[in-house]
Structure 1
Amino acid sequence: MSISSTDHPTAPDSDRKAAPGAPVRPGAYRHDLDGLRGVAIALVVAFHIWAGRVSGGVDVFLVLSGFFFTGMLVRRGEGGSVGVLATVRRTLRRLLPAMVVVLAAVVVTAVLLLPHTRWSGIASQTLASLFYYQNWYLALSWSDYLAADPSVSPLQHLWSMSVQGQMYLALLLGVALVAFVLRRVESWKPLAEHPFVRRAGRGGLLRLTLAVVFAAVAIASFRHATEGVSTQQGWNYYDTYARAWEPLAGGLLALVAPWVRLPGPTREALAWMGIAVIGCCGWLVNGALVFPGPAALIPVSAAVALILAGAGRDTAAQPVVNRLLATAPIVQLGSFAYALYLWHWPILIFYLGEQHQRRAGALDGLVIIVVSLVLAFATHHLVEEPLRERSKPVAARVRRRARTAPGRLLSGPVRLLADRRRLLTGIAVSIVGVLLLGSTVAWQWDNSAKAHAVGQLDPTKYPGAAALTDHALVPRAPMRPTTEEAPADIAYPTRDGCISDFDTRAVITCTYGDPNAHRTIAVVGNSHAEHWIPALQLLGEQYRFRVVVYLKMGCPLTVAEEPMYKGQQNPDCKDWSAEVIDRLGVERPDFVFTTVTRPSDNGGDETPQDYVDVWSALSDRNLQIIGIRDTPWLRRNGIRYRAIDCLAGGGDRINCGLDRSEALSPQNPAEPPASVFPNMHLIDPNDAVCEPQHCAVVEGNILVYHDEHHLTASYSRSLAPELGRELRPILDWW
């Protein structure tokens, strides 16, 4: 999210600033809001590095952005044309150079530190950030379980810049359209001579119209965000429409601020309340779980309070808090807050990745902050400042001076040097931007060409699970799928669109195996039930039974009142599960196939009580259940990782795996609760996935995992004989 100093809503020329702390007339440039930027970015950085929480600073920035940008647009609209193209050029000139520099640094660092399997993801997010759709990229990644990166992206924080860029464009077009319509109204004499229109004037009519429009859209956005918190918060957090009410709150404030007249004590109270709430917001609520819903009113209201507290007053007459925010050190921090925001997150993520830890300690956190400050200061002074004004060729400036003031042609060497510096900086940033765009597009193209599902493998060269179960000979052969092929070697339902994603409430069913058979196995649950479909497909074709899938991403069958996924409520899972259980009771498959364990946070695996409650619901409908123990998840120190990243980084099949005791408890945790259910039949195929002491990531020349915890379709197919041996005494069909 941009924290750059775009046009100030109360200053006639945002590039012409009074010295911080100097007395200024009411309505002039407010340094306290620059200081508020500095405080907010300090909180964002501190909470990211040491607390791993959302501070509310992003929400403060969105309010300030709406306040700044709307004020600038309204001033232009009051005087005539808003100047859409000029505003776009000027905004991009302020925001893109620093962004390009940081993105280029991230790309270079990724090449140096990350395995090549991560490069494509970095390239995708680089393009998404560069073209301001990173928030939608992340929202779709959350919705697509199999696209989610196992580690946090060094560019994840740029979602907020994309939201702000999209809101800038929406505000610009909205204000320009209203201003255009009002100019046409002025040309229609009967309406132009109406007493209300004449009394309001162009400026008053523009502000009033915009206030009505902004208020209506903000209310609709707030309602959308409120609903999204309880239905699809993972998407809601990144949704521009859900976030729109925050910058619109700032925009509304810019429209009404000139008429605000508050008594001194009220201003003092608002200022102290605002700064206290902003400082405590990160501890009051866990913003990642509830923003931008009603809880976001906390930081938004605090920002509004601080803006109102200092509105329409000289610096010397402002509340104490606003005067403190306007002091030189805090204003200076605010001046390069944008660059600091850009730099701190990738530095933090790369550091944690190299150290293989989830949090930075006190000392290393301070080092990260110092490095971020140094890079932000350099970026601000070497990149942002030289490009604040449009570059002009030095020769043109010389010719103009020769015409207008020939005697002063040689009196401005400093100005000419500044022109040259501005020109060279612009050329350098442009070259970096072109190289950045070209390299990321090339990465994407290359990855798309290499990623594809693997067909049927020769079992003599690729015995897969048979190497463990039948001690099959494993000849020397290259691993398949390769690290490039693996991301596309996925279970069939995802490939076929036969699994409900996070934003799909509907129950989607498809049939595998022998579609004309009279015997049916219903595979029910999430993607860990799904990754057995390639094996079941072969068994169904061989032994003539149907496999009907009822699958939803991130949703094991549940009867819980508030199902959770990644710490967030997933209400669609509850409704989807209820419908599936009812349909199973009506359609009555011969067996219901589902997972009965999951990894435990303390190591090993577990069977949650919710799973047992589901067995009861299925038993009440007299359904036979095949409960399969889940396969190991790749985790180190609680951090999931992808096998392909480890292998591409120089690891081997053993050290990229994990000890069996870390992934699986000594006893199948489903056995004790299942003993009271006569219709429950447990199977545990993990001896075909893990060796007695270790779970490797490659067996029989076949890669076991295509990500951090899902089987490749190739390895699943190799499991068909062992799965058939486990199912035969239960099904008695062969």
Structure 2
Amino acid sequence: MMTLAPARPVSRTAPGSVRTAANASVPGMGTRTSGFYRHDLDGLRGVAIALVAVFHVWFGRVSGGVDVFLVLSGFFFGGRLLRGALTPGVSLRPGPEVTRLIRRLLPALVVVLAASAVLTILIQPETRWETFADQSLASLGYYQNWELARTASDYLRAGESVSPLQHIWSMSVQGQFYIAFLALVLLAAFAFRRLLGRHARAAFVVLLTGLTVASFVYAIIAHNTDQATAYYNSFARAWELLLGALVGAVVPHVRCPMWLRTVMAVVALGAILSCGALIDGVHEFPGPWALVPVGATLLFILSAANRHADPHTAGRIPAPNRLLAAKPFMTLGSMAYSLYLWHWPLLIFYLAYAGGSRVNFLEGAAVLAVSALLAWLTTRYVEEPLRARKSAPAAPTTAVPLRSRLRRPTIVLGSTVALLGVALTATSFTWREHVMVLRANGKELSGLSARDYPGARALVDQAKVPKLPMRPTVLEADDDIPQTTVDGCISDFDNVTVINCTYGDRTATRTIALAGGSHAEHWITALDLLGRMHHFKVVTYLKMGCPLTTDETPRVMGNNDPYPKCRTWNERVLPRIVADRPDYVFTTSTRPWNIKPGDVMPSGYLGIWETFDDNGIPVLAMRDTPWMVRDGEPFLPVDCLAGGGDAISCGIERSEVLSDSNPTLDYTARFPSLIPLDMSDAVCRADYCRAVEGNVLLYHDAHHISSTYMRTMTGELGRQIAAATRWWKG
């Protein structure tokens, strides 16, 4: 059985360092001069990075290796701080700790970010440079996880290509933990030692246990509420690091029988190795299933606890621990940080260069080999020189010239890294400012000449198209969005409140209720113009990614993630619309098939039509506009155009996204109040949906019509609504 044993005697080896009396007798499991170290955990770190890289490159899954990293980070950093805080008479100084963190974390990060910036400019279209600039600043500022959490819930970016810096979210979580934990330990140590005396140790444990439990409970709640955002949430991940810290504080005192330690090590290593194959971490973490990699890591830590301190049983460590303390695993573990930083951007840049969405075995092996080489070079020539502490030199008898001191390799290296960081920061801010200026000029889009930029009129009215540059440009497109988004008149993914805003002729007595998701929303640009022209008002009932549906388990279109808040919102909005009694409801009536070409009316819409039919509210049922999809994934025409493509190569076959006939027509006999509208011929030609028509860019992302193009569809939409409502002559 596992027990807590008294701490072993220690011998002083140098001021400020603690060394166990028998650490030299433990092959592969000794301590460093800092007083506590486990080489088998270096090996475990190597296994974790191997799992992360392999599952990312070849399987596109989360392996649980990041969770192993988080626990080990809490164990090494948090455990060391706690052991100091729990030892009477030991002073804690924040300055050296912060300096150590900066030397340990920033140099390799800056080098990888700088290299990624160069590759972004060389390989990726300029439409992605702004996102890279935003995420570079977020990575340097250690808030990348919050940047990703924000964009994960931003529907305007839902189809955006994967960022080469996405993986740095875990580094940001760790950085935030280090600073927060350091502050917590310093404040708690000061308060507990003064107020509680010998009970300070128990108070520390109670405080951290409470925080750990609170974080775990929060992770479960956040996971069930919005898993995509919770995945990056620092407090939802804190329990993993806190558990590592708690175990790190008590591990020197733990003893248990050899047979139990062996079982623990085998089970732990088996769970870690199989986690990625058995658990879908992308959708299950940081919820309860994260206990598998976290618990396995804790078991592995405890399996060799305190063995280095006992000279009689020093060699009797479990075989898995001895294996991971071997040189190959330790070497891999020593460069785990750099390998983690390098492998993901290299994979993403290769996919961008090759134009694919996955790699084969040989391509993946090449990516991993280059990543390993760059990681070794970064570790050897950047991390280690800047991380090593210099012993204080003897007082010189003569002053050393400044020029001679600047020639020291570590000073030059440190200065170079610092300059790279400054250059990267300045460049990111400069590019963001440049894009903002371009978008400010894009305000003129609402006043483009109808003769020069006919847009949809080139398709429905055969208007002539002069040879002029496309508008909006690829950099203007991101802001060419509906006014309802700008006004905050659409509920975001987390919000289940029904938001009403009024457009068109606000004094009119005739009303069209615009209801559903963002694919209903993008029609507001044309509906607003028509309302002012023909004297009706448009009242919005909108929620991102959430059409009107009676589905019990709605899912986000595009990534198919569960969307329970869509169900809650629908339960609120449908009675509200019925009570408000609009003259018509305008909403989408079809969706793209997820499993085959064409579009379909989902079964969840039928209950909506029935409710409106029973209440005598006619529905203007708009066929959904095509989604730009390749290999089952949304793609951005603006990226394609910025990369040198044209209107055809950046478009899609009509048969891929639209069925031969409007699926809504099959239900008009069953629901007499259902009035089909179909603008497909204003978006696509007979056989092809191009990215640009009439000198106007159709999509501002992968599937939302640009407001500029929507304005050019106003005439045709007006003709169809006039025929349906008879409010004016079409």
Q: TM-score, normalised by structure 2?
A: 0.91
The 1:181–1:623 alpha-carbon spacing in structure 2 relative to 1, beyond 3 Å, is: same
Structure 2, gaps ≥5 residues long: 1-9, 309-313
The 1:620–1:284 alpha-carbon spacing in structure 2 relative to 1, beyond 3 Å, is: farther
AA aligned to 1:126 is: S
- Asked if residue 354 in structure 1 is aligned to residue 349 in structure 2, the reply is no
> What aligned pairs does 1:30-45 form with structure 2 within 5 A after superposition?
30-45=38-53
SS in 2 for 1:400: coil
Deviation per CA, 1:311-347: give whole Å up to 9, x if none. 1113522211111111110011000000000000011
The 1:318–1:95 alpha-carbon spacing in structure 2 relative to 1, beyond 3 Å, is: same
> What aligned pairs does 1:47-62 form with structure 2 within 5 A after superposition?
47-62=55-70
AA aligned to 1:130 is: L
The structure 2 residue matched to 1:586, chosen from 573, 579, 585, is 579
Structure 1 match to 2:447: 456
Structure 1 match to 2:6: none
The 1:215–1:254 alpha-carbon spacing in structure 2 relative to 1, beyond 3 Å, is: same
Deviates more, 1:11-20 or 1:62-71: 11-20
**Distance (whole Å) between structure 1 residues aligned to residue 151 and residue 114 of structure 2:** 23
Structure 1 match to 2:536: 545
> What aligned pairs does 1:141-540 form with structure 2 within 5 A after superposition?
141-148=151-158, 150-185=160-195, 192=197, 197=198, 205=200, 207-314=201-308, 316-389=315-388, 397=393, 400=395, 420-452=408-440, 453=443, 454-540=445-531
Structure 2 match to 1:724: 718
- Asked if residue 597 in structure 1 is aligned to residue 590 in structure 2, the reply is yes
Structure 2 match to 1:557: 548
Is the CA contact (8 Å cut-off) linking 2:28 and 2:40 kept in structure 1?
A: no
The 1:233–1:659 alpha-carbon spacing in structure 2 relative to 1, beyond 3 Å, is: same
Deviation per CA, 1:53-96: give whole Å up to 9, x if none. 11111111111111111122124433433211221111011100
SS in 1 for 2:644: coil
Structure 1 match to 2:102: 92
The 1:18–1:712 alpha-carbon spacing in structure 2 relative to 1, beyond 3 Å, is: farther
SS in 2 for 1:670: helix
Structure 2 match to 1:73: 81
The 1:309–1:674 alpha-carbon spacing in structure 2 relative to 1, beyond 3 Å, is: farther
SS in 2 for 1:549: strand
Structure 1 residue 419: Cα displacement: 8.8
Deviates more, 1:555-564 or 1:609-618: 609-618
**Distance (whole Å) between structure 1 residues aligned to residue 24 and residue 407 of structure 2:** 23
Deviation per CA, 1:149-192: give whole Å up to 9, x if none. 5210000011111111111111100001111113433xxxxx65
Is the CA contact (8 Å cut-off) linking 1:242 and 1:292 kept in structure 2?
A: yes
SS in 1 for 2:301: helix
The structure 2 residue matched to 1:685, chosen from 675, 679, 685, is 679
Is the CA contact (8 Å cut-off) linking 2:28 and 2:322 kept in structure 1?
A: no
AA aligned to 1:524 is: A
Structure 2 match to 1:694: 688
Two-structure CA RMSD over aligned residues (Å): 2.5
The structure 1 residue matched to 2:563, chosen from 562, 567, 570, is 570
**Distance (whole Å) between structure 2 residues aligned to residue 20 and residue 42 of structure 1:** 26
Is the CA contact (8 Å cut-off) linking 1:53 and 1:288 kept in structure 2?
A: yes
Structure 1, gaps ≥5 residues long: 1-9, 186-190, 410-415
Structure 1 match to 2:611: 617
Structure 1 residue 417: Cα displacement: 11
Deviates more, 1:340-349 or 1:144-153: 144-153
- Asked if residue 139 in structure 1 is aligned to residue 138 in structure 2, the reply is no
**Distance (whole Å) between structure 2 residues aligned to residue 23 and residue 54 of structure 1:** 30
Structure 1 residue 702: Cα displacement: 1.4
**Distance (whole Å) between structure 2 residues aligned to residue 176 and residue 675 of structure 1:** 73
AA aligned to 2:256 is: L
Structure 1 residue 669: Cα displacement: 2.4
Deviation per CA, 1:370-406: give whole Å up to 9, x if none. 11100100100010000013579xxx95x73658xx9
Structure 1 residue 239: Cα displacement: 0.7
Is the CA contact (8 Å cut-off) linking 2:265 and 2:318 kept in structure 1?
A: yes
Structure 1 residue 263: Cα displacement: 1.4
The 1:496–1:689 alpha-carbon spacing in structure 2 relative to 1, beyond 3 Å, is: same
Deviates more, 1:133-142 or 1:614-623: 614-623
Structure 1 residue 356: Cα displacement: 2.2
Deviation per CA, 1:591-647: give whole Å up to 9, x if none. 111111122232222222222233233334332111111111122222322222111
Structure 1 residue 418: Cα displacement: 13
Structure 1 residue 21: Cα displacement: 3.7
**Distance (whole Å) between structure 2 residues aligned to residue 612 and residue 278 of structure 1:** 46
Deviation per CA, 1:88-117: give whole Å up to 9, x if none. 111011100000000001100000011111
- Asked if residue 102 in structure 1 is aligned to residue 108 in structure 2, the reply is no
Structure 1 residue 144: Cα displacement: 1.3
The 1:111–1:18 alpha-carbon spacing in structure 2 relative to 1, beyond 3 Å, is: farther
The 1:425–1:590 alpha-carbon spacing in structure 2 relative to 1, beyond 3 Å, is: same
The structure 1 residue matched to 2:92, chosen from 79, 82, 90, is 82
Deviation per CA, 1:200-247: give whole Å up to 9, x if none. 6xxxx3x42221111111111111111112211111111111111110
Is the CA contact (8 Å cut-off) linking 2:465 and 2:695 kept in structure 1?
A: yes
Is the CA contact (8 Å cut-off) linking 2:29 and 2:325 kept in structure 1?
A: no
**Distance (whole Å) between structure 2 residues aligned to residue 478 and residue 419 of structure 1:** 53
**Distance (whole Å) between structure 1 residues aligned to residue 687 and residue 142 of structure 2:** 48
Structure 1 match to 2:128: 118
Q: TM-score, normalised by structure 1?
A: 0.91
**Distance (whole Å) between structure 1 residues aligned to residue 153 and residue 553 of structure 2:** 19
Structure 1 residue 278: Cα displacement: 0.6
AA aligned to 2:77 is: F
Is the CA contact (8 Å cut-off) linking 1:464 and 1:699 kept in structure 2?
A: yes
Deviates more, 1:231-240 or 1:352-361: 352-361
Is the CA contact (8 Å cut-off) linking 1:18 and 1:29 kept in structure 2?
A: no
Structure 1 residue 438: Cα displacement: 1.2
Deviation per CA, 1:551-606: give whole Å up to 9, x if none. 11111122222222223221111000111111112111111111111222322222
AA aligned to 2:522 is: H
Deviates more, 1:27-36 or 1:431-440: 27-36
Is the CA contact (8 Å cut-off) linking 2:28 and 2:326 kept in structure 1?
A: no
**Distance (whole Å) between structure 1 residues aligned to residue 386 and residue 81 of structure 2:** 21
The 1:32–1:674 alpha-carbon spacing in structure 2 relative to 1, beyond 3 Å, is: farther
The 1:45–1:557 alpha-carbon spacing in structure 2 relative to 1, beyond 3 Å, is: same
Deviation per CA, 1:669-720: give whole Å up to 9, x if none. 2322444211111111010111112111111121111111111111111111
